[in-house]
Amino acid sequence: MSHTQVSESNGEWRQMEREFADRTLKCSDCGNDFVWTAGEQAFFYDKHLQNEPKRCKPCKQAKNERLAAITAAQTSGIRQRIEVSVQCARCGQQTTVPFYPSQGRPVFCRSCFLAGRAANDADAEQH
């Protein structure tokens, strides 16, 4: 996709042509590949956005819904308990946790978490 922009340089107006092509990126949340289209790149360029997208559209929408739910709960003063479904990083079992996992950090089911904590406590006692 060709994108034309008019800019001023040293008091002279000139037309700059910039080429965009579809690019495949990896979603930071689900790990799936997604296409960042030439049109989306042109939009980012026009708006002077510096960073390329990190999430695919479904993950971006899910994140926005989570943030909206948090904001709504804070605004209404209602304390909501959240429950997020995740896969244990150690045993692979599906489980739920009462928080939104941080990107790049492992999440464990209760038994693996407690086993890891017991191992850490035993290591601390030996030192």
What is the reported pLDDT for 3? Answer: 55
* SS3 category, 97: strand
What is the reported pLDDT for 27? Answer: 92
Query: In this structure, what is the dihedral angle of CA atoms 105, 109, 111, 114, given to the nearest 10 degrees?
Result: 30
**Distance (Å, whole) CA 22 – CA 71:** 34
How far lies 118's CA from each of 111, 113, 121, 124, 126, in Å?
Answer: 11, 9, 5, 10, 13
What are the residue boundaries of the structural domains of the chain, listed by start? 2-55, 82-127
What is the reported pLDDT for 16? Answer: 55
Per residue in 22-67, pLDDT (tens digit) is 999 999 888 899 999 999 999 999 999 999 999 999 999 988 988 8
> 124 pLDDT band (50/70/90 cuts)?
low
What is the reported pLDDT for 120? Answer: 73
